[in-house]
Amino acid sequence: METEILYADPEGFEDAVAAAVGKLDAGEVVALPTETVYGLGANALDEDAVAKVFEAKERPSFDPLIIHIAQRELIREVCELSPELDAVVQQLMQAFWPGPFTMVLPKKSVIPDIVTSGQETVAVRMSEHPVMRAICKELGKPIAAPSANRFGRISPTSAGAVEKELGGRIPLIIDGGACNAGLESTIVRVELGEKRPELHLLRAGPIVKEELQKIGKVIRPKKPKKIEEAPGQLESHYAPSTPLYLFEKPEDFEPDPSLSYGLLSYRGAAKDGYIDLYDWDVVEELSPGKGKLPEAAVRLFFALRQLDESGVDAIVAESVAETGIGVAINDRLRRASAKTRNA
Ligand code: TXA
Ligand code: MG
């Protein structure tokens, strides 16, 4: 299959939106930009189209998709909300939508089982990206869109990265530029709770715990026994093809002299422990010099891809401060290293 790329720059915006809507209406899949990562979209109400998303991504059918809506009010068409839950949802939408925030809520029957992997809940988000919003609005239906990478791999934060992941497997990529949040949305399962709303944090992301706490009690779910019980919490995920090591402390790194190593460094600073430790073949810095966590978040998946493509035998990653969006960065690094750790 030939993969077309259309630029949604000011000149091409309308044509790109029309082409994407045309494909989605015809039951095809299209890669779309959001502020977090690129998504592989399909009309969420069309089971056959959604099946194509699973196929292109090689995603197991037990891992449900997020649906994207264009307006806050539309949540009532896809979710079954009691008046009490509706009130909490309104507060969360006012605070975080449009934006990198996803709510898991009881679903209405219009949402096909294939979207939710048979669960009674559905994950819903309203992106702030102008291209995604325009396409969603024009289509007039929710768009199911997981990240536009093959299953388990690094999420794409540019159209070029999508092409590397899914080129030849999908008909169309809409290029809306680089993603400016860089990490996937925060996912929260919303429940009423006794005194305050309960926000079960299923995935850390750009909306951080401190912000969520203003609205409800943030609860970190226990590790699931079986992954089918808690999709989205897969331990090994976001993984480069190259082995990636995340050590507790720099001294734990014992290089094998026959291998070449790349370093994923936070600031490129010696006091973080790794930069002077070894004669690295390649170094990628997430926030050179400054050490700004939001900048590191934006660059994380890009830098991981660079290291993966550099040809080194192994990657060593520095973790970052466990505060704010640093929590989500460390979460992605831990999962990216899980395959290597368990090998
Ligand atoms: O930023 C994002 O959220 C991006 C952009 C494209 O919107 N999307 C994204 O989708 O990251 P995906 O499919 O790669 O990750 C969504 C996660 C999955 O791990 C899935 O298991 C979880 O959300 N999820 C979806 N529906 C769920 C549900 N009903 N209950 C629990 N987890 C759910
Ligand atoms: Mg994903």
Give dist(CA 186, CA 184) in Å, integer.
7
At residue 173, the pLDDT reads 98
Residues forming beta bridges with residue 201, ordered by sequence position: 188
Whose tokens are 């939106």? That residue is: 17
Please answer whether residues 310 and 165 qualify as being in contact, where contact means their C-beta atoms are separated by less than 8 angstroms: no
Give dist(CA 7, CA 16) in Å, integer.
7
What tens digit of pLDDT does each residue of 234-275 get? Answer: 677 888 999 999 998 899 999 999 999 999 999 988 887 899
Is 66 a pocket residue for ligand 1 (Cβ < 6 Å)?
A: yes
- Pocket-testing residue among 108, 187, 207, 233, ligand 1, by greatest number of atoms within 8 A of Cβ: 187
Position 339 pLDDT exceeds 60: yes
* Ligand 1 atom 18: residue of nearest CA: 232
At residue 238, the pLDDT reads 85
Domain covering 244-341 in this structure, CATH number = 3.40.50.11030
At residue 289, the pLDDT reads 87
At residue 269, the pLDDT reads 83
At residue 226, the pLDDT reads 59
What CATH class has 4-219?
alpha beta
What tens digit of pLDDT does each residue of 35-93 get? Answer: 999 999 999 999 999 999 999 999 999 999 999 999 999 999 999 999 999 999 999 99
Is 119 a pocket residue for ligand 1 (Cβ < 6 Å)?
A: yes
H helix runs in the chain, sequence order:
13-25, 47-57, 75-78, 83-96, 113-116, 130-139, 159-166, 209-212, 293-309, 326-342
Position 279 pLDDT exceeds 90: yes
In the structure, what pLDDT confidence band is assigned to residue 229 with cuts at 50, 70 and 90? Answer: low
82: its two tokens: 């009691």
Could you tell me where in the chain the CATH 3.40.50.11030 domains are found?
A: 244-341
Residues forming beta bridges with residue 147, ordered by sequence position: 39
305: its two tokens: 């891809």
Provide φ and ψ at 174, rounded to 5°: -95, 120
Is 319 a pocket residue for ligand 1 (Cβ < 6 Å)?
A: no
pTM of this structure = 0.94
- Judge residue 178's burial from the number of C-beta atoms within 10 Å of its C-beta, 0-12 exposed, 13-18 middle, 19 or more buried: middle
Could you tell me where in the chain the CATH 3.90.870.10 domains are found?
A: 4-219
Position 230 pLDDT exceeds 60: no
Mean pLDDT of 296-302: 97
* Ligand 1 atom 3: residue of nearest CA: 185
Give dist(CA 291, CA 188) in Å, integer.
28
Residue type, 64: P
In the structure, what pLDDT confidence band is assigned to residue 227 with cuts at 50, 70 and 90? Answer: low
Centre of ligand 2 to C-alpha 155, Å, is: 6
Q: How many CB atoms lie within 10 A of CB 274?
A: 21
Position 178 pLDDT exceeds 90: yes
**Average pLDDT, whole number, for the chain?**
94
What tens digit of pLDDT does each residue of 83-109 get? Answer: 999 999 999 999 999 999 999 999 999
Position 231 pLDDT exceeds 80: no
What tens digit of pLDDT does each residue of 121-130 get? Answer: 999 999 999 9
β-strands 314-317, 4-7: how paired? unpaired
In the structure, what pLDDT confidence band is assigned to residue 343 with cuts at 50, 70 and 90? Answer: confident
CA separation, residue 151 to residues 57, 76, 268, 339 (Å): 6, 30, 31, 13
Ligand 1 atom with the smallest distance to the CA of 127 is: 7
Give dist(CA 201, CA 208) in Å, integer.
10
Is 122 a pocket residue for ligand 1 (Cβ < 6 Å)?
A: yes
Ligand 1 atom with the smallest distance to the CA of 237 is: 19
Position 194 pLDDT exceeds 60: yes
136: its two tokens: 């969603």
